[in-house]
């Protein structure tokens, strides 16, 4: 199957297959070709170039699309979501407007524990149905790779139920899905802190590991949740099952989780709203991608992570939606890119690289996804006719995605 897209106003997000992530000032380089063509063969990106140099012969294609006036972008990659959840929590949304903080709601037994109660009362099929609606929503908005976490089970049976739902989503969508075991999201209602950490290590991780239900492991290492010592123990136990960490740190307070993540070779450390600058050096020369979640700061009315300063210090940064019922009920990566520009002062090129190539890296997928490169999976979208790439974050509520291709096939 050969698909040719011709007369593309701008083909954006070109980066070599061998380039796994971008650091510091490199993040300003959004490889582009104006007036371009793109050839897709058997689900992979095969060739592209300027229309002026398009070979006039030898293009026996099955389908041609004239993309005049439109931009072609690599699909968004969203490396941090919690889209498997039951119901919603708009009651807490109102509580927050009335003055309660996210941490206060959690201390009163609401928050994540509310979602755990709802999930417990929801059948696996119904949970799958609700989560698939969210998966379909984000695909239509241009997301082509997504990480999905467990963490609303908080007992062994319900954590496994969530991970089985993630596996079903993986098997049924054209989007690339990776799964993360986040048993350490909050202390399950029926356990003490220490009992629960022991349960994760001695029961949950072995079951998840045996059934190969998770690619990665996560811990909410923060004030009022799990300590750096808990995190160290959980990550060490997960390593025995081959699960690399991607952890929540420095959201509510800087409690020392980041160095623990880096020590265990974390693929990413996420949130970072309260990250001290002294942690920048720990990330330098590490394989760990700081991943910031501007939608969470927007929704919780909290400080934004210091992404601008990290990039100025030479670090690479990724962005993610954090789509979840409590702190970010949205998986709109275009809006996340706009917030990264407006609130974190990233340039459009930096924010787009943070949401594509660097975000793919934060899921361990940037060898095959996250940029336009020969040999990579053909995950991309064609925009509506728009004036420029910068228009994408600028027009911060205008829908710009016109046609979505995943694995070279158009989704409808
Ligand atoms: O990433 N911070 C911890 N976990 C989620 C929120 C989960 C929830 O409130 O349901 C987050 O923001
Ligand atoms: Fe999260």
pLDDT tens digits for range 269-293: 999 999 999 999 999 999 999 999 9
Q: Where in the chain is the domain with CATH 2.30.40.10?
A: 2-74+370-411
Q: Ligand 1: which residue has its CA nearest to atom 1?
A: 322
pLDDT in tens, 348-370: 999 999 999 999 999 999 999 99
- Closest listed ligand to the CA of 110: 1
Q: Ligand 1: which residue has its CA nearest to atom 10?
A: 326
The count of other CB atoms within 10 Å of the CB of residue 195 is 12
State yes or no: pLDDT of 56 exceeds 80. no
Q: How high is the ipTM of this complex?
A: 0.96
Atom of ligand 1 nearest to the CA of 112: 10
Residues 208-233 have a mean pLDDT of 98
Q: Is ligand 1 within 6 A of the CB of residue 112? A: yes
Q: Measure CA 143 to chain center.
A: 9
What fold, for 77-361?
TIM Barrel (3.20.20)
pLDDT in tens, 240-258: 999 999 999 999 999 999 9
The count of other CB atoms within 10 Å of the CB of residue 84 is 29
The count of other CB atoms within 10 Å of the CB of residue 211 is 12
Residues with CB under 5 Å of ion ligand 2 are 322
- Closest listed ligand to the CA of 180: 2
Residue with tokens 């290590």: 201
Q: Where in the chain is the domain with CATH 3.20.20.140?
A: 77-361
Burial letters 243-259, b for 16+ CB under 10 A, else e: bbbbbbbbbbebbebbb
What local confidence, expressed as pLDDT, does residue 318 receive? Answer: 99
Q: Ligand 1: which residue has its CA nearest to atom 12?
A: 327
CA–CA distance, 124 with 122 (Å, rounded to integer): 7
State yes or no: pLDDT of 412 exceeds 90. no
Rounded to the nearest angstrom, the distance between the alpha carbon of 353 and the centre of ligand 2 is 21
Site to substitute for ligand 1 among 78, 80, 82, most atoms within 8 A of C-beta? 82
- DSSP track, 230-261: HHHHHHHHHHTTTPEEEEEESSSS--SHHHHH
Share of residues in the chain with pLDDT > 70 (%)? 100
What local confidence, expressed as pLDDT, does residue 106 receive? Answer: 86
What fold, for 2-74+370-411?
Urease, subunit C; domain 1 (2.30.40)
Q: Is ligand 1 within 6 A of the CB of residue 251? A: yes
């Amino acid at each position: 199957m050969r698909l040719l897209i011709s007369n593309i106003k701008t083909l954006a997000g070109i980066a070599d297959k061998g380039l796994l992530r971008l650091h510091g000032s490199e993040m300003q380089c959004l490889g582009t070709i104006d007036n371009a063509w793109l050839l897709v063969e058997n689900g992979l990106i095969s060739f592209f170039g300027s229309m002026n140099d398009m070979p006039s012969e030898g293009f026996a294609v099955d389908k041609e699309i004239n993309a005049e006036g439109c931009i072609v972008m690599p699909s968004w990659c969203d490396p941090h979501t919690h889209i498997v959840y039951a119901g919603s929590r708009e009651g807490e949304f109102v509580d927050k407007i009335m003055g309660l903080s996210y941490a206060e709601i959690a201390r009163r037994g609401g928050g994540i524990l509310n979602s755990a109660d709802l999930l417990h009362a929801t059948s696996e099929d119904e949970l799958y149905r609700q989560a698939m609606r969210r998966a379909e929503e984000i695909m239509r908005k241009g997301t082509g790779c997504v990480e999905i976490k467990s963490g609303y089970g908080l007992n062994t049976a319900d954590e496994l139920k969530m991970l089985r739902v993630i596996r079903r989503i993986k098997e049924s969508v054209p989007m690339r899905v990776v799964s993360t075991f986040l048993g350490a999201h909050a202390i399950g209602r029926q356990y003490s802190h220490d009992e629960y950490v022991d349960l994760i290590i001695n029961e949950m991780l072995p079951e998840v590991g045996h059934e190969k239900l998770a690619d990665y492991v996560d811990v909410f290492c923060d004030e009022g949740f799990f300590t750096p010592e808990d995190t160290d123990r959980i990550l060490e136990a997960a390593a025995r099952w081959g699960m690399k960490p991607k952890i929540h740190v420095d959201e509510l307070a800087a409690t020392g989780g980041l160095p623990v993540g880096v020590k265990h070779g974390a693929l990413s450390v996420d949130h970072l709203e309260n990250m001290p600058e002294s942690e920048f050096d720990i990330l330098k020369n590490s394989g760990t991608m700081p991943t910031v979640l501007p939608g969470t700061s927007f929704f919780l009315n909290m400080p934004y992570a210091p992404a601008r300063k990290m990039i100025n210090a030479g670090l690479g940064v990724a962005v993610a939606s954090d789509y979840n019922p409590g702190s970010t009920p949205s998986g709109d990566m275009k809006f996340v890119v706009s917030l990264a520009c407006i609130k974190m002062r990233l340039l459009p090129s930096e924010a787009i690289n943070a949401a594509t190539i660097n975000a793919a890296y934060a899921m361990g997928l940037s060898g095959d996804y996250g940029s336009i490169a020969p040999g990579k999976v053909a995950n991309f979208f064609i925009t509506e006719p728009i004036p420029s790439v910068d228009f994408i974050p600028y027009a911060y509520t205008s829908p710009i995605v016109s046609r979505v291709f995943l694995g070279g096939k158009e989704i409808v």
